[in-house]
């Protein structure tokens, strides 16, 4: 069975929600999942900033010696925030403190503001291209499904935004016990489950070399996969795409360039490789349930729920 947790689009009323708030919510969701399925543990996936919350959760579980997560998948997630990229242009202390003050005053960080930061990291593709085509030439922008999805931004509560900035500045996940979540110190080397890590070769938001260095922080065995696309397209990569390529290497040297030099190239989508990896780390197949939820946790509204009606 597959369960999905979606981050709520917060308002000023949720301004004090921080990292521990999100971790506690994940813990509650996992308890519900294990109750419904009867399974003692789960296989978990986190993408982008969701990778940061899932990694912190696993560090919290490790501190409690609670093996609730059997295997982990991380997609385009940076945990080691030492970045030698365009992100550094926005990362001086004055700018970061100003960003924290602004979100605390507003209660939330608007998704559109965050999108502008990422756009200016690739101005030729994400800004001037549209300036010339749409404004100067008067052409209709090309139809592109991923851009449509990308325009559906979400806010961050001020407290979580402030914690993310602090983590960017101090890089605590690279050091044992430098971060505390839900009352426990986090040491990712104590997270010893197998994990699958995906990065994109042309990802400007979470560069693949930073994703690779982040994968080295865990104590478990990693299957690192490098997809031939950017931040979104490296994930949305269904089988059968003739342009799809990915690289694998069972060795995990310290230098990501050494990993790339020794990697094997594959055609088609990495999804098929992940499917085989995940099947090896899953329990025996059971018959599909005839109804959702259970007596303690009955199903509520049909997917995707009522939250999508909130602006």
Q: Which residues are catalytic?
A: 48
Cα–Cα distance for residue pair 103/99, rounded to 1 Å: 6
Identify which of 76, 243, 230, 86 has the alpha carbon closest to the alpha carbon of residue 147.
Answer: 230
Answer yes or no: are the C-beta atoms of 245 and 266 closer than 8 Å.
yes
Please give the distance of CA 310 from its chain centroid, rounded to a whole number.
Answer: 23
Number of other CB atoms surrounding residue 292 within 10 Å? 13
The 3-state DSSP class for residue 61 equals helix
3-state helix, strand, coil in the chain (%, to 5): 45, 15, 40
Q: Is 214 exposed, middle or buried, given 0-12, 13-18 or 19+ CB atoms closer than 10 A?
A: buried
């Amino acid at each position: 069975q597959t369960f999905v947790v979606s981050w709520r689009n917060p308002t000023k009323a949720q301004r004090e929600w921080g990292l521990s708030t999100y971790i506690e919510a994940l813990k509650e969701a996992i308890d519900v999942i294990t109750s419904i399925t009867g399974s003692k543990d789960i296989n978990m996936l986190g993408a982008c900033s969701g990778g940061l919350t899932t990694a912190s959760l696993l560090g919290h579980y490790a501190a409690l010696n609670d093996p609730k997560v059997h295997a982990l998948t991380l997609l385009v997630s940076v945990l080691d925030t030492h970045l030698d990229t365009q992100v550094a242009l926005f990362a001086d202390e004055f700018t970061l403190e100003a960003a924290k003050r602004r979100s605390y005053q507003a209660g939330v960080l608007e998704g559109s503001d965050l999108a502008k930061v990422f756009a200016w990291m690739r101005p030729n593709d994400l800004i001037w291209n549209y300036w010339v085509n749409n404004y100067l030439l008067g052409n209709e922008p090309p139809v592109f499904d991923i851009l449509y999805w990308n325009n559906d931004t979400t806010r961050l509560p001020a407290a979580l935004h402030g914690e993310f900035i602090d983590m960017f500045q101090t890089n605590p996940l690279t050091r044992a016990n430098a971060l505390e979540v839900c009352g426990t110190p986090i040491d990712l080397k104590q997270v010893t489950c197998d994990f699958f890590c995906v990065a994109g070769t042309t990802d400007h938001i979470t560069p693949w070399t930073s994703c690779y260095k982040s994968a080295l922080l865990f104590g478990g065995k990693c299957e690192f996969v490098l997809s031939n696309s950017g931040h979104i397209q490296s994930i949305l990569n269904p089988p059968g795409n003739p342009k799809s390529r990915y690289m694998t290497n069972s060795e995990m040297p310290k230098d990501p360039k050494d990993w790339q030099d020794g990697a094997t190239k594959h055609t088609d989508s990495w999804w098929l490789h992940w499917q085989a990896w995940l099947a090896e780390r899953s329990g025996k197949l059971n018959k599909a349930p005839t109804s959702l939820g259970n007596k303690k946790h009955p199903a509520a509204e049909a997917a995707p729920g009522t939250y999508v009606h909130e602006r």
